[in-house]
Chain A
Amino acid sequence: MSDPVLSVKDLKTHFFTRAGVVKAVDGISFDLAEGEIMGLVGESGSGKTVTGFSLLGLVDAPGRIVSGSVKLKGTELTTLSAAELRSLRGHDISMIFQDPIATLNPMLTIGQQMRMAIDAHERLGARAAEARAAELLTQVGIPSAKERLRAYPHEFSGGMRQRVAIAIALLHRPAVIVADEPTTALDVSIQAQILFQMRDLARETGTAMVWISHDLAVVSSLASKLAVMYAGRIVEQGPTATLLRDPRHPYTAGLIASLPAMAAPGTPLTQIPGTTPSLLSLPEGCPFAPRCDRATDTCKTDPDMTHQDNRGWRCFHPVTRTAEVPA
């Protein structure tokens, strides 16, 4: 296999707040190959967004990357200066946010904003820039792209604004795109269109993606591999289909089992007891222990990642049964 385009090793990003240290990302590792899509799933507060921000060097005070490494095409990102990072962002690695309204400037036309994104990294004539912008809008499924360049964001629907944000992220054909729940706020029909296009784009352009989502079904149809986060750690990772069919970590197994599709209509769903922990008061040892029906005294120490073949899990008593396949 060729070298990974993105390689993350034992990355830790902590927030030093008055209430205490929030270990939002606490030792995560993964590799991403060219054109590969990795789904990053987990509940709110598990550290998905902070992971994305860390990859792009966007973490602000009171937070910082405290240790670990992020290598993009061999370049270590965690030691770069702010200026060096800025020249990489949008060019070699870019991010798509959950809320496209926050990304787009309401005062500027779509064309002006795309032009600025082009100018940030490249010198192109007005004609060529417009052609490039229109080409990308077409690619993400916006009809009559040339005319649309003169429109303002408020003239677009939520789905179209998100497409524009994706087009901007794609402008310089970055090696890696981090997409933070970009379709969560959209309707299923629009979500399906965008997922479909993103999958084809990754295939055609070789752009690798980290696709952040809390929806297992969304990532299962898009990502070839999966990382499941809980309380700032990746608790399980591996090929998507393998993980969903044969989860090892009790949390992954619980998430899959609790899906309505896994129970007969009207019957009680399998539920994970308890609530997600506060990162300020994590229990000693395995953070999932208070909610885990397999927990023993051993779990009072923190499990390391166990690797087997191309997958891994952080659990002393992994689940081994095969998940039931829904009809």
Chain B
Amino acid sequence: MSSFLSIDNVSRLFGPNLTTGEKIAAKLGSKVETRSVRAVSDVSLSIRKGETLGLVGESGCGKSTLGRLIAGILPPTTGSVTIDGKPVMENGTKVTTRVQTVFQDPFASLDPRMKVGDTVAEGPIAHGLTTKGAAREYVAGWFERVGLDPVWADRYPHQFSGGQRQRIAIARALAMQPDVLICDEPVASLDVSIQAQIINLFLELTHDLELTCVFISHDLSVVQHVSDRVAVMYLGRIVELGPVAEVFGTPAHPYTSALFGSVPKLVLDADELVHFETIEGEVPSPLSPPSGCYYHPRCPLASEQCSAQQPATQPVAELRAVACHHFEKQLAKATA
């Protein structure tokens, strides 16, 4: 498999970032958190050109942080990200335009005082992808591409609906002519009937432009729909990775299995007594993760080994990997 986007042993720590008040409080002996969080812990991924990798996991597991590390918005504490062999960041600064991002809240990410056409043109002009004189036409092309009327380029963000604003955000990212697109919850804030429109646009554009994508979403059905492979994160680590149909069909990690099991399904039979598989307890604090396998306090398959030793990531099948001491047991359960 030739890797186009490579994430090599990337970790990111966040310090306690104390406010002045908290520092004083800490000096006076108050209980103030001084430990740091390992938001992303030793993540390695190789993504092929044109592939869409879905990234799932519970809130706070590190999805957005990993997305920002890949996009060069945030420097890793250790490790590196390369596109086609070239680094995304050097000395803490982003050195490429080949990776762009689309975020959840299109309103927050657009400057309210700027005409949307100017917002879209800004980056491409700065990086010589178009000129001031040609920008209007350049932007019009991208507007059409994402299903917006080019005459709207002179309007301001507040004059658009949520779905339209997300189209503008997509146009802005694509106008930079990236090879890699990081989408962090791109449909989460949209109305149900608009989500399908944006998902369809995403599918069409990634296919036509041969984009390599990382698609972050808490909505597993959306990830299942758009991704080729999926990575499941838990407390900063990737616990399972593989082709979407296989991971969803026969999860090899007990957490993957439990996470998918807890998603409510559309129930079409009144007599069906719905059984939720719920995961016991909650995600532990990332400030003091459990010993060994981070999942062991919630895992039904946990053994003594699990609390003592962190499981290594091992291959399960082609393109499939899992970090679990007892993945064979889990696979047997999933296929039973």
- Which A residues are in CB contact (< 8 Å) with B226? 266
Q: B183: shortest Cβ distance to chain A, in Å?
A: 15
Top 10 A-B residue pairs of the complex, sorted by shortest distance between their CB atoms? A192-B262, A258-B196, A241-B270, A260-B225, A269-B196, A43-B191, A271-B196, A272-B193, A189-B279, A220-B267
B45 at the interface (CB under 8 A from A): no
A120 at the interface (CB under 8 A from B): no
Contact A260 B264 (CB under 8 A): no
Stretch among B5-13, B106-114, B197-205, B317-325 lining the A interface:
B197-205
- Which B residues are in CB contact (< 8 Å) with A215? 192, 264
Q: Which of B193, B204, B244, B267 contacts A258 (CB 8 A)?
A: B193
- Which A residues are in CB contact (< 8 Å) with B264? 188, 191-192, 195, 215, 217-218, 220-222
Contact B194 A275 (CB under 8 A): yes
Q: Could you list 8 examples of A-B contacts with CB < 8 Å?
A: A188-B264, A189-B279, A220-B267, A242-B270, A254-B193, A258-B192, A259-B266, A273-B197
Q: Interface size class for chain B?
A: 35 or more
- Which A residues are in CB contact (< 8 Å) with B268? 220, 241, 244-245, 323, 325
Query: Which residues of B261-311 have CB atoms within 8 Å of chain A's CB atoms?
Result: 262-270, 274, 276-279, 282-283
Q: A304: shortest Cβ distance to chain B, in Å?
A: 24
- Which A residues are in CB contact (< 8 Å) with B274? 221-222
A240 at the interface (CB under 8 A from B): yes
Stretch among B77-85, B115-123, B130-138, B215-223 lining the A interface:
B215-223
Q: How many residues of A contact B (CB 8 A)?
A: 51
What does the 1/0 interface line of B203-231 toward A look like (CB < 8 Å)?
11000000000000010111011100000
What does the 1/0 interface line of B51-69 toward A look like (CB < 8 Å)?
0000000110000000000
- Which A residues are in CB contact (< 8 Å) with B283? 187
Residue from B59, B203, B245, B277 whose CB has the most chain A CB atoms within 10 Å: B59
Which of B's residues lie within 8 Å of A, judged by CB?
A: 58-59, 161, 163-164, 191-197, 199-200, 203-204, 218, 220-222, 224-226, 244-245, 258-259, 262-270, 274, 276-279, 282-283
CA distance A270 to B222 in the complex (A): 14
Which of A's residues lie within 8 Å of B, judged by CB?
A: 43-44, 157-160, 187-193, 195-196, 214-218, 220-222, 224, 239-242, 244-245, 254-256, 258-261, 263, 265-266, 268-273, 275-276, 323, 325-326
Contact B265 A217 (CB under 8 A): yes
Contact A271 B197 (CB under 8 A): yes
- Which B residues are in CB contact (< 8 Å) with A221? 264-265, 267, 274, 276
